[in-house]
Amino acid sequence: MLRIVFTRLLVALPNLLGVVVITFLLTRAIPGDPAAYFAGGSATQEAVEQVRRQLGLDRPLPEQFLHYIGQLARGDLGLSLTTGQPVLQELVARLPASLEVVLLALVLSCALAIPMGVMAAVRPGSWFDQCSRLVITAGVSLPTFFTGLLLAYVFYFLLGWAPSPLGRLDPVFSPPPTVTGLYLVDAALARDAALWWASARQLMLPVLTMAIFVMAPIARMTRASMIAVLSADFIRTARASGLSPATVLVRYGLRNALLPVVTTLGMVFGFMIGSSVVIEKVFGWPGVGSYAIDALTASDYAPVQGFVLAMGVLFVLLNLLVDIAYGLIDPRVAVES
């Protein structure tokens, strides 16, 4: 297993290098002059040139790139010009906020979508199958920003069931002592039930918005995979052997249908990272997505490059987990390339 992990990480290095090169070039192609932005609107041309020299933007692109690679080799992602803080420190502080929403939404969507897909596959063409198709179509069609605004309008403005959709915690509460950065986990470790519930209430709308977005592909893939598996010869043999319907459905059907679902989860994670940028803006969530958008607006290169690199590392780790999950679900699957 350790050899597999090492091989996967070694293969991922060229991909990460490609991410670094592409991100570096694209950030330099962003319209706008960072030196003029940070010098101020009333700055003279001489002042703008001085700021450009201080930022190192007057150097040739190859020299800037080599300087950036040298920083990465030292574990330095650069300094954010908008906040004045190291990018690595900002990402470490904000990443738990984004992961808390993404992971909870992934768990919620799987808890709803997989049973929905299984039941729709067991009774194809039934009223439940038609209703599940309607939910899947709505989940694919509705933009995340529209779903988030609609949920905030209904559950906060009209019904008053949800708290104000601004930030991770109500201002009357103080954040829990930082252990993991995940407020639910840290509040539970601090044994503060009121703080835990306040954190959970703030998470409800962002998590529900993202879960609706990712339920559709998971449910659709589960349904299609289960229909294919349930028509296989070994399922008919299992039924003819007198096994209970639940055993046939779960042990023989669902287990063999999970491999494409796990692959879909890996792709869905990428969609969730992308949609988290919009959701964090809608709900005022202080995650890495909103941090990257603010930096992109200000033409602040270092945070954008650090954000994309961090997301690339997350994708590599997720693909590694997917490969390991293949072996756990079906040991016959060879995870080595």
Q: How many CB atoms lie within 10 A of CB 113?
A: 28
* Residue 333 DSSP class: S
pLDDT at site 108: 92
Residue 121 CA to residue 135 CA, distance in Å, equals 15
* Residue 336 DSSP class: -
pLDDT at site 233: 84
> Which residues, given as ranges, of the chain have pLDDT below 70?
1-5, 8, 29-44, 54-55, 326-337
Return the CATH class of domain 90-307: mainly alpha
Residue 177, φ and ψ in degrees, nearest 5: -55, 130
Q: Give domain limits for the chain.
A: 34-76, 90-307
pLDDT at site 104: 92
Q: Where does residue 180 fall: left (phi above 0), alpha (psi -120 to 50 degrees), or beta otherwise?
A: alpha
Q: Which of 264, 282, 279, 191 is nearest to 225 (CA)?
A: 264
pLDDT at site 34: 66
pLDDT at site 337: 47
